[in-house]
Amino acid sequence: MSVDLVSADDPQFGSPIGPRGIRRIVIVVFILGIGGMIAGSILDNNGFAITFGLITAIAALALVLVTQVSPPGSLAKPGKPTAPVVNERLAADLESRIETLVAEGANETEVRKLVGRAIELGRQQ
């Protein structure tokens, strides 16, 4: 008997749920949990209310966790441009290397065009 593992990244099975989808699911569970607490209180059933209170608390923690670990821009609305995150240390290092190449006689315009093309290539991957 063999077991074939299925990867979530396998295009045959579709893409995994993104951070926005997970947040939406957690928000729905959170809202339903609040409704359950209210219903439990109205029915004067403490066990019911406490159970839904715990579900709501777990959903709140999940919401905080997903928001915290999501990469920048992954929670933005689709099609909405997001500001790129710039690592100032890397940018300063790149600029100093460009200045070094220019000081050694390289054409600054050509070096900057080359760097720009390298950035475009990196963004495509």
**pLDDT tens-digit profile of 19-76?**
888 889 999 999 999 999 999 999 999 999 999 999 999 999 999 998 888 877 777 7
Domain membership flag for residue 1: no
d(CA 76, CA 20): 8
Q: What is the pTM of this model?
A: 0.53
C-alpha pair distances (Å), 123 with each of 11, 42, 50, 102, 109: 21, 55, 48, 25, 21
Domain extent, residue 31, equals: 17-69
- Give the number of domains in the chain: 2
Whether residue 22 sits in one domain with residue 65: yes
Whether residue 92 sits in one domain with residue 65: no
Domain membership flag for residue 117: yes
Entry field: residues in the chain: 125
Domain membership flag for residue 82: no
Whether residue 57 sits in one domain with residue 28: yes
